[in-house]
């Protein structure tokens, strides 16, 4: 069991160090503590240690955990980092402050409708299937311009691109590619980097790193 406050300060120090090496400011990078599968008792100590931005990958799990945590601890920014079904768009828009998994036209439509209905604009990242993996979420690189066009026509607030590179391969080229795609499309946000590679991602331009196990320990 890692001590949450120690884990948090270690991750923050590593982010700051990677940023310094790359000539960036640590404040340019948002650490999202990915708390999926972990119970409220494991999350509370991290909030008490000062962490205010969290990520979940399932709407239902987040709905079960976060209203009470928010009541107990005040303002928390909650990011959805997992795949989103169109029929959960309304719940997602109500619960989350940012969505990292916009990856198809049907979801553009569902989210635009849900944001209209809720009267609430939730910033979105477009998830790119950066390694062209069959089983993985994210839009194909070739489909990105069209999807971005649709999202912009629907007036969705698109803030950047997100990726999860293929497992067990050096991730740096994929981070560099996501950074290039974001630049090509005039997008400031790059959501990339997890526990095993967030320092590399920071050096290659990440603005949001999504870190789970390095903060909470392993998931069962
Ligand atoms: C679980 C998850 C993370 C965090 O993974 P760790 O390896 O535990 O840091 C980041 N991004 C997404 C999309 C995830 O599903």
pLDDT 10s digits, 113-128:
999 999 999 999 999 9
Q: Each residue of 68-104: pLDDT tens digit?
A: 999 999 999 999 999 999 999 999 999 999 999 999 9
pLDDT tens across 164-202, in order?
Answer: 999 999 999 999 999 999 999 999 999 999 999 999 999
pTM of the model: 0.98
Q: Is residue 52 part of a domain?
A: yes
> What's the CA-to-centroid distance between 56 and ligand 1, angstroms?
9
Measured CA to CA in angstroms, residue 39 lies from 42, 143, 173, 188 at distances of 5, 37, 35, 33
Concatenated DSSP letters for 15-41?
HHHHHHHTT--GGG-EEEEE-TT--HH
Does residue 4 sit within a domain?
no
Nearest alpha-carbon partner for 19 in 181, 201, 161, 190: 201
CATH number for position 113: 3.20.20.10
* Inside any domain, residue 168: yes
Q: Would you say residue 109 lies in a domain?
A: yes
215 Cβ below 6 A of ligand 1: no
The reported pLDDT for the residue numbered 1 is 60
Residue 86 lies in a domain: yes
Task: Judge if the beta carbon of residue 82 lies within 6 A of ligand 1.
Answer: yes
Residue 11 lies in a domain: no
| Torsion angle defined by CA atoms of residues 133, 136, 141 and 143, in that order, rounded to the nearest 10 degrees | 120
What domain range is 102 assigned to? 30-216
Total count of domains within the chain: 1
Mutual orientation of helices 4-21 and 40-48 as an angle, nearest 10°? 60
> For residues 220 and 209, what is the distance between their CA atoms, to the nearest angstrom?
22
* Cα–Cα distance for residue pair 162/100, rounded to 1 Å: 6
pLDDT in tens, 52-78: 999 999 999 999 999 999 999 999 999
> Residue 218: what are its φ and ψ, rounded to 5°?
-70, 160
Report if residue 22 sits inside a domain.
Answer: no
Q: Is residue 174 part of a domain?
A: yes
């Amino acid at each position: 069991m890692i001590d949450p406050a120690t884990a948090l300060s270690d991750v923050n120090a590593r982010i700051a160090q990677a940023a310094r090496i790359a000539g960036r400011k640590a404040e340019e990078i948002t650490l999202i503590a990915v708390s999926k599968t972990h119970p409220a008792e494991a999350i509370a100590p991290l909030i008490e240690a000062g962490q205010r931005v969290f990520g979940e990958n399932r709407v239902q799990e987040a709905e079960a955990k976060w209203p009470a945590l928010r009541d107990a601890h005040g303002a928390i920014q909650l990011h959805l980092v997992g795949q989103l079904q169109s029929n959960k768009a309304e719940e997602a828009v109500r619960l989350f402050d940012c969505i990292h998994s916009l990856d198809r036209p049907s979801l553009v439509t569902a989210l635009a409708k849900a944001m209209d209905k809720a009267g609430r604009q939730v910033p979105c990242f477009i998830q790119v299937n950066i390694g062209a993996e069959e089983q993985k979420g994210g839009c194909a690189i070739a489909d990105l311009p069209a999807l971005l066009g649709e999202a912009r026509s629907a007036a969705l607030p698109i803030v950047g691109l997100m990726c999860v590179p293929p497992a067990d391969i050096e991730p740096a080229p994929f981070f560099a590619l996501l950074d290039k795609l974001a630049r090509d499309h005039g997008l400031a946000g790059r959501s990339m980097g997890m526990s095993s590679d967030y320092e590399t991602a920071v050096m290659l331009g990440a603005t949001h790193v999504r870190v789970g196990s390095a903060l909470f320990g392993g998931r069962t």
